[in-house]
């Protein structure tokens, strides 16, 4: 099947229904971005998702869309409570991969002579790298509590403040987690990894608020030009990966049993009311909560290390959580569809929740301006903070882009980077990089990603999420 695009306006493109598609596709992009997207497999994946039973509205793709497992990365789909299905391919392997942003009032200009030392302090404090474990030691019973309680478990044990929890999606705990549904293999993989970054595109980054676009929203978020920020991008590590593996095996069997016609086996699914879907939601919630706790523990490690390096108390440092968002998740939400409030299971795969002003799930300090939307770019250029809008609630089930989106595969990025003095190149841009492996840095070179400014401009111009602030990187820790 050859995927066709119909232009709606400068930033929206329809993939019309054909064959077994139950709804159209809707892609957010400029004309030049569409040309790049056409060369990828992701448009076909958008169309494939539209085949799934009970899908509502559109099969959506954000401007950072690119090929992934099952759903495209940057894909969003909502499913009816009665007729819909649940697909692990609509969540992904790194369940609740997400981003946390912290800010403080320290002026970067006063810290520049110490940035390299601060990057080293972060690297020593936050365990990173493929398969590397944490500084914590969890018993099986404590692991159960992490999976049930999420970030609150970490705060209760001194890794942060209760106020942190107010500024995390779902309050840092997704209800419905059942550790009894998590396999022994998943537990074994996850137990030694709480409080660790991992590898790949995960990072811990010191940055600077470089530009403010929306003064009112920036003030509500506690962002001031010229001040220091900390961004942490990580997920549920081996625990979430194994939970996805386990679910995919069951869902392949379930798809056949329930007679669900699949255009792609990677979209294996089960009816939302089936035992298989209920089991996956309960185990997925365990991984979601593990990831929330993981970012909370790393926040505590980072606060401690930075305060110590600067010779001040953590209170004087004043690193406060702006927000923490999920990228890979499926969860129950209420949305208005054709004038009717409906309970839907919203899948976001490489996409960020972007609830608008006035929504009760937006924390009180931000409710007038909308939920913070955190969009990291690459380690050589910039990242953005956006705010969710009412239009997003009506059009994308309150969803926005989640990052820049890859342009080059990891293998191609390594070929492009071969022989280059990458650490020196980045340092000349003013970015200190500490990494467990040069290979990881090569895979994550800035050229491997789309320009996140273009991605964000689409969301802003389309009215889905408005720009609040631009952040530039100063020091990056990678696995």
Distance CA 357, CA 370 (A): 4
Neighbours of 18 (CB within 10 A): 13
What 8-state DSSP symbol labels residue 396? S
CB 83, CB 404: distance < 8 Å: no
Distance CA 15, CA 60 (A): 10
Virtual torsion, Cα 361, 366, 370, 375, nearest 10 deg: -100
Tokens standing for 450?
């789309």
Identify which of 384, 456, 376, 349 has the alpha carbon closest to the alpha carbon of residue 92: 349
Distance CA 226, CA 211 (A): 8
Helix H or strand E segment including 314: helix 314-317
Q: Is 359 a catalytic residue?
A: no
Catalytic residue among 51, 58, 327, 402: 402
CB 143, CB 179: distance < 8 Å: yes
Helices (H) and strands (E) in the chain, counts: 17, 19
Identify which of 295, 244, 291, 275 has the alpha carbon closest to the alpha carbon of residue 147: 291
What 8-state DSSP symbol labels residue 445? -
Residues marked active site are found at 402
């Amino acid at each position: 099947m050859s995927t066709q695009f119909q232009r709606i306006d400068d930033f929206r493109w329809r993939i019309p229904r054909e064959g077994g598609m139950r709804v159209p596709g809707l892609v957010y992009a400029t004309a030049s971005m569409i040309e790049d997207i056409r060369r990828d497999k992701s448009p076909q994946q958008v169309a494939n998702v539209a085949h799934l039973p009970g899908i509502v509205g559109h099969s959506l793709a954000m401007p950072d869309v690119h090929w992934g497992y099952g759903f495209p990365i940057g894909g969003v789909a909502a499913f009816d409570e009665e007729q819909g299905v649940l697909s692990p391919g609509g969540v992904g392997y790194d369940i609740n991969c997400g981003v946390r942003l912290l800010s403080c009032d320290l002026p970067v200009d006063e810290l520049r002579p110490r940035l390299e030392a601060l990057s080293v302090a972060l690297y020593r404090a936050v365990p990173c790298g493929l398969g590397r474990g944490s500084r914590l030691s969890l018993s099986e019973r404590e692991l159960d509590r992490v999976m049930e309680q999420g970030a609150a478990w970490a705060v209760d044990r001194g890794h942060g403040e209760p106020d942190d929890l107010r500024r995390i999606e779902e309050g840092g705990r997704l209800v419905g987690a059942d550790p009894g549904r998590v396999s022994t293999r998943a537990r074994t993989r996850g137990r030694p990894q709480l409080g660790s970054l991992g590898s790949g595109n995960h990072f811990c980054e010191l940055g600077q608020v470089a530009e403010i676009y929306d003064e009112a929203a920036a003030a509500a978020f506690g962002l001031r030009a010229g001040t220091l920020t900390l961004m942490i991008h990580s997920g549920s590590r081996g625990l979430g990966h194994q939970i996805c593996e386990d679910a995919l095996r069951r869902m392949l069997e379930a798809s056949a049993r329930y007679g669900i016609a699949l255009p792609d086996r990677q979209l294996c699914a089960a009816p939302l009311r089936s035992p298989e879907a209920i089991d996956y939601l309960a185990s997925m919630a365990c991984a979601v909560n593990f990831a929330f706790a993981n970012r909370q523990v790393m926040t505590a490690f980072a606060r401690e290390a930075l305060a110590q390096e600067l010779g001040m108390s953590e209170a004087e440092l004043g690193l406060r959580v702006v927000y923490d968002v999920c990228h890979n998740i499926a969860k129950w939400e209420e949305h208005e569809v054709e004038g009717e409030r409906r309970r839907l299971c919203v899948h976001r795969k490489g996409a960020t929740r972007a609830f608008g002003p006035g929504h009760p799930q937006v924390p009180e300090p931000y409710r007038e301006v909308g939920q913070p939307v955190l969009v990291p770019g690459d380690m050589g250029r910039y990242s953005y903070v956006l705010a969710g809008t009412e239009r997003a609630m009506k059009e994308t089930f309150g969803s926005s882009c989640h990052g820049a989106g890859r342009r080059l595969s990891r293998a191609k990025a390594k070929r492009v980077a071969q022989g280059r003095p990458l650490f020196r190149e980045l340092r000349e841009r003013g970015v200190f990089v500490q990494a467990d492996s040069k290979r990881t840095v090569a895979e994550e070179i800035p050229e491997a990603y789309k320009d996140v400014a273009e991605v964000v401009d689409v969301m802003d111009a389309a009215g889905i999420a408005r720009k609040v602030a631009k952040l530039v990187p100063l020091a990056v820790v990678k696995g």
